Amino acid sequence: MKRFPLLAVCTANICRSPMMEVLLRDQLDPDRFEIASAGVRGWDAAPVDSMVVLELARLGHSVSEFRSRALQLHHVEEAALVLTAAREHRAEVLALSPQALRKTFTLREFAALVADSEATTLEDLVVDASRRRSTAPVDIDVQDPYRREPDVHRRVADQIAAAVDVVAAKLSILTSKPRVPRPQ
């Protein structure tokens, strides 16, 4: 079975997108999902920010041997779903690959759009979210916590964790039940 490729994107790939990657990877079946992350101004081979390591530990997760990478066109093209930390990253993804519009969302936007979706496949879920994009809430960005106070990191971690919980639950449901054939 082909794994569903999901890409998380933020600025430097050392705070928000690694957190998204770790939380998604820990909640989704590795046989069904391929989770990766990158940064629009990525620093190749940089470690995760130390505050992110602490926040992931607080949430019961660990990150080891992670190294950042810069976003490349092939990362976007290979992904079936691109989740960004903020609208500015979504815009950068789309500047790199305008065809990715229908599969690129901010994390919080996608969580809001899919929470009550009745889609029956992963592909249909992405299509449904794209169709419903105009109904997304206005506050869909996750603040950049880099070089900020610990309380900012905690708030960001909690926002990401809450959105990932919704997304991972929906994705897991769609991969755990048998596919219903579409009427022809």
The structural domain count of the chain equals 1
181 domain residue, yes or no = no
Asked whether the beta carbons of 105 and 142 are under 8 A apart, the reply is no
Q: What is the CATH number of the domain that holds 89?
A: 3.40.50.2300
Give burial (CB, 10 Å; 0-12/13-18/19+) of 177: exposed
- For residue 126, CA distances in Å to 48, 80, 145, 147 come to 29, 8, 28, 33
The pLDDT value recorded for residue 98 is 98
The pLDDT value recorded for residue 44 is 83
DSSP 88: H
Structural domain of residue 40, as residue ranges?
Answer: 4-176
Residue 177: pLDDT band (50, 70, 90) is low
Asked whether the beta carbons of 84 and 90 are under 8 A apart, the reply is yes
119 domain residue, yes or no = yes
Residue with tokens 């790199």: 96
